Amino acid sequence: MDPLGLKIILVTCLVFVPLERLFALNSEQKVFRPGWANDLIFLLLNGLVVKLGMLAVIVASLFVAARIVPASVQDSVGGLPFWIQIPLIVLLSDLGVYWIHRMFHAVPWLWRFHEIHHSSEELDWLAATRVHPVDQILTRGAPLLVVIALGFSAWSISVCALLFHWQAFLVHSNVRIGFGPLRLLLVSPAFHHWHHSADREARDRNFAGQLSFLDALFGTLHMPQGRMPTAYGLDQPMRQRYAFQMLYPFVGDRARHYLHLPAENEPHPPISPSARAPLTRRPLG
pLDDT band at 191 (very low <50, low <70, confident <90, very high): very high
Q: Which domain holds residue 20?
A: 6-258
- For the cut 60, the answer to whether the pLDDT of residue 20 exceeds it is yes
| 276, part of any domain | no
Model pTM score: 0.88
Find the mean pLDDT for residues 54-77: 88
The pLDDT, as a whole number, for residue 4 is 61
| 107, part of any domain | yes
Find the mean pLDDT for residues 64-75: 88
The pLDDT, as a whole number, for residue 255 is 81
| 180, part of any domain | yes
Three-state secondary structure along 35-97?
CHHHHHHHHHHHHHHHHHHHHHHHHHHHHHHHHCCCHHHHHHHHCCCHHHHHHHHHHHHHHHH
| 263, part of any domain | no
| 279, part of any domain | no
- For the cut 50, the answer to whether the pLDDT of residue 270 exceeds it is no
The string over 207-244, giving b where at least 16 C-beta atoms fall within 10 Å of a residue's C-beta and e elsewhere, is: bbbbbbebbeeeebbbbeeeeebeebbbebbbebebeb
pLDDT band at 105 (very low <50, low <70, confident <90, very high): very high
- For the cut 80, the answer to whether the pLDDT of residue 260 exceeds it is yes
- What are the tens digits of pLDDT across the range 195-227? 999 998 999 999 999 999 999 999 999 999 888
pLDDT band at 173 (very low <50, low <70, confident <90, very high): very high
Total structural domains within the chain: 1
Task: Tell me if 235 sits within 8 A of 282, measured CB to CB.
Answer: yes
- Report the mean per-residue pLDDT for the chain: 87
- For the cut 50, the answer to whether the pLDDT of residue 282 exceeds it is no
Residue 238: strand, helix, or coil: strand
Of residues 98 and 285, more confidently modeled? 98
Find the mean pLDDT for residues 86-93: 98
Find the mean pLDDT for residues 251-257: 82
The string over 113-136, giving b where at least 16 C-beta atoms fall within 10 Å of a residue's C-beta and e elsewhere, is: bbbbbbbbbbbbbbbbbbbbbbbb
| 264, part of any domain | no
| 267, part of any domain | no
The pLDDT, as a whole number, for residue 48 is 83
What sign does the CA torsion over 240, 245, 249, 252 have?
A: negative
pLDDT band at 2 (very low <50, low <70, confident <90, very high): low
| 198, part of any domain | yes
- For the cut 60, the answer to whether the pLDDT of residue 264 exceeds it is no
